Amino acid sequence: MSQLNATIRDPDSVDAAIENRYSVRAFLPTPVPRALIEHVLRVASRAPSGTNAQPWKVYVVQGDRRDELVRQVSAAHDQVRANPGLAASFREEYDYYPRQWVEPYLGRRRQNGWSLYGLLGIAKGDKDRMHAQHHQNYSLFGAPVGLMFTLDRVMGRGSLVDYGMFLQNVMVAARARGLHTCAQGAWNPYARIIMPLIGADPAQEMLVCGMALGWADPEALINTYSTPREPVEAFTRWVE
């Protein structure tokens, strides 16, 4: 059967994989079989891209190399906290967030942060516990698999649009197979540490983001947190 005429026999399952994808922040150490990771990436590769350029490059980090990545970036993150002047040497290569937040985005960001911290009992102004929670990013939240995504520098900004569709496919395909993920821009400032460790050429490639992949810890309180979404009428305009 051709792609044009193929029937999606269980559309509710497709919807469920999308609607039940969310950022998990505590994983079990249970290994993820290589064949399952390859399956997820193969399905995700059907993401559209301008002129079929398929600009994504994926580095699957496991085992000893994963542990070394965690060790080095965690140490750098602690060093920056101890000496904020070091932050200038750890900068993102592209602006993921706006330089100045405005509404409604500022309100949503604040709601997300304080809802998450409130669930964990982290009070406003408790910088030590905030740092400790943010630091969990650099352990991949305990996930046994880290995915690092890079883009060739020769590509244009439009490739980041293509990349977003690929990343969503990775997360949805993983969820459909019982896995969970957390996409992480938090790795981006530490690209100069990460790129050599994963075997990427920083002269040719730019780090787009990282992602934790694994089996969610069902006992972790933090995994009960899921972000709200705006209703369709709030972001849609019908033009007729």
What residues are paired with 183 via a beta bridge? Answer: 211
Closest CA to 182 of 217, 212, 204, 150: 212
Name which residue leads in pLDDT, 135 or 2. 135
pLDDT tens-digit map of 159-200: 999 999 999 999 999 999 999 999 999 999 999 999 999 999
| Contact of 59 with 200, CB cutoff 8 Å | yes
Q: Using 50, 70 and 90 to split pLDDT, how confident is the model at 3?
A: confident
| Contact of 192 with 202, CB cutoff 8 Å | yes
pLDDT tens-digit map of 217-238: 999 999 999 999 999 999 999 9
Q: Collect all residues with Cβ–Cβ distance below 8 Å to 67 and sequence separation of at least 6.
A: none
3-state helix, strand, coil in the chain (%, to 5): 50, 15, 35
Mean pLDDT estimate for the chain:
97
Set out the domains of the chain in order of their start, with CATH numbers.
Answer: 11-88+101-226 (3.40.109.10)
Find the mean pLDDT for residues 156-160.
Answer: 96
129, amino acid identity: R
Q: Using 50, 70 and 90 to split pLDDT, how confident is the model at 2?
A: confident
Alpha-carbon distance of 194 to 61, in angstroms, equals 11
Please report which helix (H) or strand (E) contains residue 37, including its range.
helix 34-44
Name which residue leads in pLDDT, 7 or 107. 107
Please check the confidence at residue 42 and state whether its pLDDT lies above 90.
Answer: yes
**Residue that is written with structure tokens 């990436």 in the block:** 41
0.85 surpassed by pTM: yes
pLDDT tens-digit map of 201-216: 999 999 999 999 999 9
> Residue 61 burial (CB < 10 Å; 0-12/13-18/19+)?
buried
Question: Mutual orientation of helices 105-119 and 127-135 as an angle, nearest 10°?
Answer: 90
**DSSP letter, residue 216:** B
Quick one: what percent of the chain has pLDDT higher than 90? 97
Find the mean pLDDT for residues 8-31.
Answer: 97
Q: Using 50, 70 and 90 to split pLDDT, how confident is the model at 5?
A: confident
Find the mean pLDDT for residues 98-124.
Answer: 96
| Contact of 214 with 27, CB cutoff 8 Å | yes
Question: Can you give the pLDDT at residue 227?
Answer: 96
Please check the confidence at residue 1 and state whether its pLDDT lies above 60.
Answer: no
Question: Can you give the pLDDT at residue 198?
Answer: 98
> Residue 231 burial (CB < 10 Å; 0-12/13-18/19+)?
exposed
Q: Using 50, 70 and 90 to split pLDDT, how confident is the model at 150?
A: very high
